[in-house]
Structure 1
Amino acid sequence: MKAVILAGGMQSTLHNEREGIPKPMVEIGGKPLLWHIMKHFSEYGVYEFVICGGYRVDLIKEYFMDFYIYQSDITVDLQSNAIEIHKKKTEDWKVTVVDTGVFSSTGRRVGMIQNYIQENDFLVTYGDCLSDINISELLDTHFQNGKTATVAVAKPAGRNSLLPIDREGNIRYGKEMKQENGAAWVNADCMVLRRDAFAYLQGNYDLEKQLFVKLSERKQLASYKHKGYRTAIETKRDLAVAENLWNAGIAPWTRKRCSGQV
């Protein structure tokens, strides 16, 4: 199983001293958002990643090319340029970084990495979102419903558009759905797609505005209701809150919740 991470937006302004880096490379606890996201997925046995880069994709490539060095202690002989590695640390990940353009939509980015996906199903998430979504449960829901796409949904946090979800858990765009008390849900920025989803990714449109609508019309868009932690790092306040959770040792997205593999 592969996870596709959308990491191609414009530069981050979350750190004044580090403007000019892509938002997924903004650090929490000395680690970029990408690392935190990938660490969470790897806790569920997902070790292969395709990163859809754009703005300053070179920084993302450099990070993973030098990942082994960054994670380890080293001794450098400046006369001979010899490098000795101490306390070798790395991750059991295989990472593909693809330049999908600076101005591409989320839908186009996913469409551009089709050649890197051989599996029948794959995960997609955003490079600026953290959560404790149970990836195993999300995948189980997807395989059980047999739909082309299963989108994780969460309770609204104030800055999101509500999704029209029927009683069977299907997302029905174009339908006026009565939102009863406590029944409102929003996109939790994590989903599972079947390969046939690529057929709908034509043009430069966002996933929600193109893929979701088309699949909804064909009753091929289902939901997985996530009732736990989920946040998008969109403001300096969001970043500060996440940093405080990490420093306090209670970051929800780092807690290992399963022993099985996907």
Structure 2
Amino acid sequence: MKVGILAGGLGSRLSEETVSKPKPMVEVGSKPIIWHIMMHYAHYGHKDFVIALGYKGEYIKKYMTDYCSLSSDLTVDLRSNTVERHAESSLDWRIDLIDTGLNTQTGGRIKRLAPYLGKDGTFLLTWGDGVSTIDLDDLVRFHKRHGKLATVSAVRPPARFGKLDIQGDQVVAFEEKPQLGEGWINGAFFVLEPGIFDYIDNDMTHFEREPLERLAADGQLMAYRHEGFWQCMDTVRDRVRLEELWDSGNAPWKIWD
């Protein structure tokens, strides 16, 4: 099953990092966030990726084409102008890197990927800026059972600040940035059928607006509830939190060996 990743947005709320690189290339633990996302999918056997490029897409192209060299020991012989790799990449991924335009919106980017994603039936889709502990096998089973066109992961948003449990004037418990216990939001881990392309009009279509609204109105959108860890990387604060979790050695989303 193919995996589409939207990696073309401007990332304006993370402008301190994205002035020189696209958001999916912002690093957590010395690896771009898009690498963490792809490792999650690959852990469940989904290794055929289609990445929608836009803003500074050349950075992602260069990273993917240079990956073997960047992750291997090398001997560079300047006399013979040769490079010898001492270990090949252990990753058996296939990656299509598709330029979907600088100003194209999310729906438009998805539609431009239709020739790569839709011809083989059911496909997976996510944004290039969020990590989670979603069980992708269970997500796909849920989608197959209901038989609708689209499944969206529903997640509990993390609180932006620590939660205080106060009795009187005394703090009796403190939880740093917990997942909120009420409300659900779009976690952006989708399972989709090719029929969803008919709900996208053009490059200026926001997938989160008209297409999802129409799918819901037509009874074709189902929610997979995920109670576990989920975190997008919208701001520098988000990136710092992910970095701290990674450095602690207990990053919840690192489920691969």
Using the size of structure 2 for normalisation, the TM-score is: 0.87
Q: Over residues 61-91 of structure 1, what are the superposed CA-to-partner deviations in whole Å (9 max), with x where a residue is unaligned?
A: 1111111111101010111111111133341
Q: Over residues 83-129 of structure 1, what are the superposed CA-to-partner deviations in whole Å (9 max), with x where a residue is unaligned?
A: 11113334110000111111111000000011112221101101011
The alignment's C-alpha RMSD in Å is 1.9
The residue identity in structure 2 corresponding to 1:110 is I
CA separation of 1:51/1:57 partners in 2, compared to 1, >3 Å: closer, same or farther? same
Counterpart residue number, 2:229: 229
Counterpart residue number, 1:168: none
Q: Distance in 2 between matches of 1:66 and 1:12?
A: 27
Counterpart residue number, 1:134: 135
Q: Sequence identity of aligned pairs in percent? A: 40
Report the CA distance between 1:224 and its aligned residue: 0.3
| Structure 1, 85-94 or 148-157: larger mean CA deviation | 85-94
Task: Kindly indicate whether the alpha-carbon contact (under 8 Å) linking 1:154 and 1:187 is maintained by their aligned counterparts in 2.
Answer: yes
CA separation of 1:55/1:15 partners in 2, compared to 1, >3 Å: closer, same or farther? closer
Counterpart residue number, 2:210: 210
Query: Which sections of structure 1, spanning at least 5 residues, go unmatched?
Result: 160-180, 258-262
**Does the residue aligned with 2:9 lie in a helix, a strand or coil?**
coil
Query: Which sections of structure 2, spanning at least 5 residues, go unmatched?
Result: 161-179
Counterpart residue number, 1:194: 193
Q: What pairs up with 1:8-19 in 2 under 5 angstroms?
A: 8-10=8-10, 14=14, 16=16, 19=19
CA separation of 1:98/1:17 partners in 2, compared to 1, >3 Å: closer, same or farther? closer
Task: Kindly indicate whether the alpha-carbon contact (under 8 Å) linking 1:53 and 1:99 is maintained by their aligned counterparts in 2.
Answer: yes
CA separation of 1:218/1:253 partners in 2, compared to 1, >3 Å: closer, same or farther? same
Counterpart residue number, 1:155: 156
Q: Over residues 19-67 of structure 1, what are the superposed CA-to-partner deviations in whole Å (9 max), with x where a residue is unaligned?
A: 3200000111111111100000000010000001100111111111111
**Does the residue aligned with 2:253 lie in a helix, a strand or coil?**
helix
Report the CA distance between 1:207 and its aligned residue: 1.1
How many residue pairs match? The answer is 236
1:25 aligns with 2:28: no
1:93 aligns with 2:93: yes
Q: What pairs up with 1:116-135 in 2 under 5 angstroms?
A: 116-117=116-117, 118-135=119-136
**Does the residue aligned with 2:21 lie in a helix, a strand or coil?**
coil
| Structure 1, 36-45 or 238-247: larger mean CA deviation | 238-247
Report the CA distance between 1:227 and its aligned residue: 0.6
The residue identity in structure 2 corresponding to 1:41 is Y
**Does the residue aligned with 1:10 lie in a helix, a strand or coil?**
coil
Task: Kindly indicate whether the alpha-carbon contact (under 8 Å) linking 1:129 and 1:232 is maintained by their aligned counterparts in 2.
Answer: yes
Q: Distance in 2 between matches of 1:185 and 1:105?
A: 24
Report the CA distance between 1:156 and its aligned residue: 2.8
Report the CA distance between 1:256 and its aligned residue: 3.7
Counterpart residue number, 1:174: none
The residue identity in structure 1 corresponding to 2:200 is L
Q: Distance in 2 between matches of 1:129 and 1:194?
A: 22
Q: Distance in 1 between matches of 2:195 and 2:3?
A: 16
CA separation of 1:53/1:18 partners in 2, compared to 1, >3 Å: closer, same or farther? closer
Counterpart residue number, 1:239: 239
Counterpart residue number, 2:171: none
Report the CA distance between 1:253 and its aligned residue: 1.2
Q: What pairs up with 1:9-88 in 2 under 5 angstroms?
A: 9-10=9-10, 14=14, 16=16, 19-88=19-88
The residue identity in structure 1 corresponding to 2:192 is L
Q: Distance in 2 between matches of 1:212 and 1:66?
A: 37
Task: Kindly indicate whether the alpha-carbon contact (under 8 Å) linking 1:11 and 1:21 is maintained by their aligned counterparts in 2.
Answer: no
Q: Distance in 2 between matches of 1:233 and 1:77?
A: 40
Q: Over residues 142-185 of structure 1, what are the superposed CA-to-partner deviations in whole Å (9 max), with x where a residue is unaligned?
A: 000001000000113358xxxxxxxxxxxxxxxxxxxxx95521
